Chain A
Amino acid sequence: MNSNSLVSIDDISRDEIVDLLKQARYFEMHPDQKILDGKVVATLFFEPSTRTRLSFETAVNRLGGRVIGFSDASTTSSSKGETLKDTIKMVSNYVDLIIMRHHLEGAARYATEVTDTPVINAGDGAHQHPSQTMLDLYSIYKTQGTLQNLSITMVGDLKYGRTVHSLLMAMRYFNPTFHFIACEELQMPKEYKDFCDKYNIRYYEHRDFTPEVINQSDILYMTRVQRERFTDIMEYERVKNLYTLRSDMLEGARKNMRVLHPLPRVNEIAYDVDDSPHAYYFEQARNGLYARQAIICKALGIDIPKMEITL
């Protein structure tokens, strides 16, 4: 067990989150450095995710480290029945840091228990994906100049969307107001509404995706509504276009309002939104690089200058 590991956004404190944001800011100003000279990092993607893997590998490369690993478990010994424990123990002999993605929930937590090498969770099934949360927080901070007292509207699949759950939990330190917009089948689960109650976070639930809600938001966090989430296909057909954002819905939006999306999108954001000054989802992905550089250095115990940011 290495205490620098990052498995869940819930494992780190408000101060640690703020420090990571300050360091992400530093890396945005100085993305190329030889901080990881001589370090070898493993990216173990038991489940493929090109987007996340490229982001992490770019982060390591830009800091002068080297990467080994695999991008698909079907080419590795785990497809021959090797346990996760054995794979992690074997790789631990070679590297300074393990970045892993796995289709099973809790896989990263278990990995931290079988090795002393630090582990970063790059997604474990529908469970946790803390670097996504950090890049979301950094994007919100950058676009709003603060994380405090914001009105955040979450749209689409609020039942299974792990990004919205993690973001909700991380925002508890910053006095947010939430609006949850989803159809009956994909509502925000009770445990997260209980979480809001516990931390005195205001939230409002809506069925309809209307300009009235958009107009009182600082952040519009869109997610993908996937067909396979529905038990009733007719229900999917009925709602699939109800949670699509079009540019005409943004006419009365606050000037500072920004649209975020964890990507990839399908049809939940119309292409005409891309040209809107409110669209931020492509820049959001780039922020992932800086957030991950900060996370990698924290996991390796490397001290990085913190830029002053006001929250």
Chain B
Amino acid sequence: MKADKKELAVAALRCGTVIDHVPNDVLFKAVKILGIENIKSHVTIGNNLSSKRLGSKGIIKVADVEFAEDVINRIALIAPHAKINIIRDFDVVEKRYVTLPDEIVGIVRCDNPKCITNNEPMRTRFSVIDRDNLTIRCHYCGRTVKSEDAIID
């Protein structure tokens, strides 16, 4: 009975993408970054699910969508250990991990109120300056921020 309920929480997908091992506290940020709000096909979002590795995790299942690599990599900013499963006909045809790009354009808002990016209609640009500590720096004002603290627009 318990096993059945668990099955239900992570219902199988015929085709699409499963984004697994997303930390609970950033799940909805990840949803936002990937623009999942605007997707019309079936979307299942689960949070606080038990995980052997994380203890507890979030998961996103999107039917009939395979994200472009540069799009999916955007969540590396907040979920560097997320695992991506591409599903076709109920089979996992590809597994991969996200990788943080060198430059992040337009997702993160600079937390410096005197930064030009907060005062002009323009896109932000951040570069990754420390991959181990996931630290990014504003290309314009130089303000650095840990990516887990980054404000997502």
Residues of A within 8 A of B (CB): 83-85, 102-107, 109-110, 124-127, 191
Cβ-neighbour of B115 out of A84, A106, A191 (below 8 A): A106
CB pair B121 A105 closer than 8 Å: no
List 30 A-B pairs, Cβ < 8 Å. Answer: A83-B121, A84-B116, A84-B120, A85-B120, A85-B122, A102-B116, A104-B114, A104-B119, A105-B114, A105-B140, A105-B141, A105-B142, A105-B143, A106-B115, A106-B116, A106-B117, A106-B138, A106-B140, A106-B141, A106-B142, A107-B116, A109-B140, A110-B116, A110-B117, A110-B120, A124-B116, A125-B114, A125-B141, A126-B114, A191-B144
Knowing A105-B112, A105-B115, say if A127 contacts B120 (CB, 8 Å).
no
- In the complex, A192 Cα to B119 Cα: how many Å? 27
Which single member of A83, A85, A103, A110 contacts B140 (CB below 8 Å)? A110
Query: Whose C-beta in chain B lies nearest to the C-beta of A104?
Result: B116
Q: Is the CB of B122 within 8 A of A105?
A: no
Q: Which of B82-123 contact A (CB under 8 A)?
A: 112, 114-117, 119-122
Q: Please name the residue on chain B nearest to A7 by beta carbon.
A: B140
B139 contacts partner chain A, Cβ-Cβ < 8 Å: yes
The CA of A147 and the CA of B67, in the complex, are separated in Å by: 54
Give the secondary structure class of A's interface: mixed
> What are the 10 tightest A-B residue pairs by CB atom distance, in nearest-first order?
A106-B140, A105-B141, A106-B116, A106-B141, A104-B116, A107-B116, A110-B116, A109-B140, A105-B114, A125-B114
Q: Kindly state the interface size class of chain B when it binds its partner.
A: 10 to 19
Docked Cα-Cα span, A191 to B143, in Å, equals 11
**Alpha-carbon separation in the docked complex, A104 to B143 (Å):** 13
Q: How far is the CA of A85 from the CA of B112 in the complex (A)?
A: 20
Q: Are A83 and B120 in contact (CB under 8 A)?
A: yes
Which residues on the A side are within 8 Å of B143 (C-beta)?
Answer: 105
Min CB distance B112 to A, Å, is 6
Q: Smallest CB–CB gap between B109 and chain A, Å?
A: 13
In the bound complex, residues from chain A placing their C-beta under 8 Å from that of B116 are 84, 102, 104-107, 109-110, 124
Min CB–CB distance A81 → chain B (angstroms): 11
State whether A110 touches B112 (Cβ < 8 A): no
- In the complex, besides A83-B120, A106-B141, 14 extra interface pairs with C-beta distance below 8 angstroms are A85-B122, A102-B116, A104-B114, A104-B116, A105-B114, A105-B115, A105-B140, A105-B141, A105-B143, A106-B140, A109-B116, A125-B114, A126-B114, A127-B141
**For the complex, what is the distance from the CA of A85 to the CA of B116, rounded to whole Å?**
11
Chain B residues with CB below 8 A from A110, complex form: 116-117, 120, 122, 140
Query: Chain B contacts of A109 at CB under 8 A?
Result: 116, 139-140
Contact with A along B119-138 (1 / 0, CB 8 A): 11110000000000000001
Closest A residue to B118 by CB, please name it. A104
